[in-house]
Structure 1
């Protein structure tokens, strides 16, 4: 991991390779990632970030015909209606297959803009400039795009890898601390599924150093979390993995660790809960399910609560009742037929699929989740 002021370039291989650039003040690399092929570029920007997007806007306007599409903040952007409005803007501007989309915002903007790029003319290039920690380590990398419906989160979408990602850590300086903390939910998750060094940094470094957007600790955490996602995605771009065989790596489904319950909680809260908070609670919940099922040891289950709590994340929830949450979990994309499938751990760095968990274990873990709320 980088220890200098120079940007770190993490390469994503595969059939459509691209680079993830991590550093401070890297917006100037945007035109390099887009190249000379596009004539028009659409900047999809979250409403609250229009002013912050100034440097990106200037860089794009100097090289391309720029169309700016302002979208709602947060999950309110991830609707079919907003996507349709973006398509209309591309149509009015005469966008062709050689033109491109740039997203500027958090994970919701990235998901929406990526889906718009994936679906316009069956796919145009997109470069993501994530502005939150959560988006940098999760939504911007890996090519998953989508919008929400009344039935659930991210149920409509497409796999569409970006042409590049710019993780400009300078953009995190103005992020509210609560949002920065929420982003740590995905970072710590990556520690549990693949890179124990992430957990060691969170557990041993001063919390203020961990959350210092100008410091080396947070930069290393971002780089490590991005590297985890790259390693998993390159091996299983379209989530074709997920064997139930004991000891088999679940492929890209490993990245959904904690998300089955996390998404159910977010849905129950009408997406008013931060995604990273839901993931943290979900990871603690599924660790208890695995412990009750005899898959995970008690110390590692307890380590989940300690690690997430140390950076200020919630580890419990007592809102919606168990039946509502169970119904939400069954909407998870990993479910096959009526059988619930959970990503669990045998140990740190050893994810696997637990198919058809016992309802008594699900209920017992639910009771523990409520006790820690």
Structure 2
């Protein structure tokens, strides 16, 4: 991984720039960063207190961040919300915006999102609409949020019709990533985040996928060097793509959705619940995208099996059965019809010509996808992905 890819590097971490003109910002990646985050946040706070929004699962991290702010004399107040995907809702958004207004948040203030992807998406969206836009900082505490949702400015909530259908592009002013916070994360959550790490290799970096095959087990076991390298590489890859296509208008940023069209249908079938975590759905979705590509002659069966094998080796689902999905194909396709990328009745799919060769295909018939899904092995009716760690 070159300096050009990751920006400034030190022996312990890296600073990755997200280059978006006047909306540019840095992603700082450093083990132990949370304990001295006040040094980064003090210049943004000025003389105003910071409001930290967290969920109930990160109480220890909230205390550590509060101590870091106290050490540099920055005032702070906190809002603690329920954990889980259910918090990405109109009801929680209303509650959060009312609380932010009650605390007197001004347009020039910075709201700090401390937590996983749910908190980041929710706080980002609240910041985008509060007083027509205030500023926010991302401090992601899950691997999935560190390598994906905290970078790039996509914010939003879910609707009855589907995931992330209501939202806005709203870039953070700063992203602070401390790989050490992953030490407290359940193993299942780390695996789910790892799916998004591997995705970057599948998109356009076959060498990085090979790195994941060699070092993924060490990363999942908590090896600090492997973890920091993977986070920095993934963030740099996303920053590069976002800089080329911030609002997903030229098709380049759409590549980041590899596995998501299939995966969101699986999440919808699971009720957007802990029955199937987002990263697990992405892993299964990537496996299905490769399997569909192989079944339709776009890529080799060997590449599709290589991807599926890596998911199995990593403890992640490699298709419908492993994801605990037994729904009929027509119902899964109906979920896809609600995808926010639907345009003029056509749903673009991220497919592949091989590992590291993902492309956007706008000519896929949903009937062809339905026939493919109908032929896939399914879970027993009572099966589901469950947390074991």
TM over 0.5: yes
**Kindly tell me: are residues 216 and 92 of structure 1, through their superposed partners in 2, closer, same or farther at Cα, counting changes over 3 Å?**
same
| Structure 1 outlier segments of 4+, above 4 Å | 1-5
Q: State which drifts further: 31-40 or 155-164.
A: 31-40
The 5 Å alignment of 1:1-373 reads 1=1, 5-15=11-21, 16-27=23-34, 28-33=36-41, 35-36=43-44, 38=46, 39-61=48-70, 63-205=73-215, 207=217, 209-242=218-251, 251-272=252-273, 273-317=276-320, 318-359=325-366, 361-367=368-374, 369-370=376-377
**Kindly tell me: are residues 95 and 205 of structure 1, through their superposed partners in 2, closer, same or farther at Cα, counting changes over 3 Å?**
closer
**Alpha carbons 1:112, 1:146 under 8 Å: kept:** yes
Q: Secondary structure at the residue paired with 2:32?
A: coil
**Kindly tell me: are residues 59 and 372 of structure 1, through their superposed partners in 2, closer, same or farther at Cα, counting changes over 3 Å?**
same
CA–CA separation in structure 1 for the residues paired with 2:128 and 2:161:
22
**Kindly tell me: are residues 206 and 56 of structure 1, through their superposed partners in 2, closer, same or farther at Cα, counting changes over 3 Å?**
closer
Using the TM superposition, give the Cα deviation of residue 343 of structure 1 relative to its aligned residue in structure 2, in angstroms.
1.0
CA–CA separation in structure 1 for the residues paired with 2:239 and 2:192:
21
TM-score, with structure 1 as normaliser: 0.92
CA–CA separation in structure 1 for the residues paired with 2:329 and 2:246:
33
Using the TM superposition, give the Cα deviation of residue 241 of structure 1 relative to its aligned residue in structure 2, in angstroms.
1.6
| Structure 1 residues without counterparts, runs of 5 or longer | 243-250
CA–CA separation in structure 2 for the residues paired with 1:139 and 1:80:
19
Aligned to 1:247: none
**Alpha carbons 1:265, 1:278 under 8 Å: kept:** yes
Using the TM superposition, give the Cα deviation of residue 361 of structure 1 relative to its aligned residue in structure 2, in angstroms.
3.6
Using the TM superposition, give the Cα deviation of residue 297 of structure 1 relative to its aligned residue in structure 2, in angstroms.
2.1
Using the TM superposition, give the Cα deviation of residue 288 of structure 1 relative to its aligned residue in structure 2, in angstroms.
1.9
CA–CA separation in structure 2 for the residues paired with 1:191 and 1:344:
14
CA–CA separation in structure 2 for the residues paired with 1:30 and 1:157:
29
**Alpha carbons 2:18, 2:26 under 8 Å: kept:** yes
Q: Secondary structure at the residue paired with 1:324?
A: helix
Using the TM superposition, give the Cα deviation of residue 363 of structure 1 relative to its aligned residue in structure 2, in angstroms.
3.3
CA–CA separation in structure 1 for the residues paired with 2:31 and 2:105:
31
CA–CA separation in structure 1 for the residues paired with 2:219 and 2:265:
29
CA–CA separation in structure 2 for the residues paired with 1:36 and 1:133:
25
Q: Secondary structure at the residue paired with 1:53?
A: helix
Using the TM superposition, give the Cα deviation of residue 314 of structure 1 relative to its aligned residue in structure 2, in angstroms.
0.4
Per-residue Cα deviation, 1:170-223 (whole angstroms, up to 9, x for no partner): 10001111111111111111110022233112222372x121334212221111
Q: Secondary structure at the residue paired with 2:37?
A: helix
Per-residue Cα deviation, 1:326-349 (whole angstroms, up to 9, x for no partner): 011121122212112101122333
Using the TM superposition, give the Cα deviation of residue 261 of structure 1 relative to its aligned residue in structure 2, in angstroms.
1.0
Per-residue Cα deviation, 1:12-55 (whole angstroms, up to 9, x for no partner): 11121111111211122354256245513211101121233112
Instruction: Work out the number of aligned pairs and report it.
Output: 364
**Alpha carbons 1:40, 1:95 under 8 Å: kept:** no
CA–CA separation in structure 1 for the residues paired with 2:93 and 2:307:
37
CA–CA separation in structure 2 for the residues paired with 1:83 and 1:34:
27
Q: Secondary structure at the residue paired with 2:359?
A: strand
**Kindly tell me: are residues 167 and 148 of structure 1, through their superposed partners in 2, closer, same or farther at Cα, counting changes over 3 Å?**
same
CA–CA separation in structure 2 for the residues paired with 1:145 and 1:349:
27
CA–CA separation in structure 2 for the residues paired with 1:155 and 1:206:
32
**Kindly tell me: are residues 172 and 222 of structure 1, through their superposed partners in 2, closer, same or farther at Cα, counting changes over 3 Å?**
same
Indicate the RMSD between aligned Cα atoms, in angstroms: 2.0
**Alpha carbons 2:328, 2:374 under 8 Å: kept:** no
CA–CA separation in structure 1 for the residues paired with 2:60 and 2:155:
25
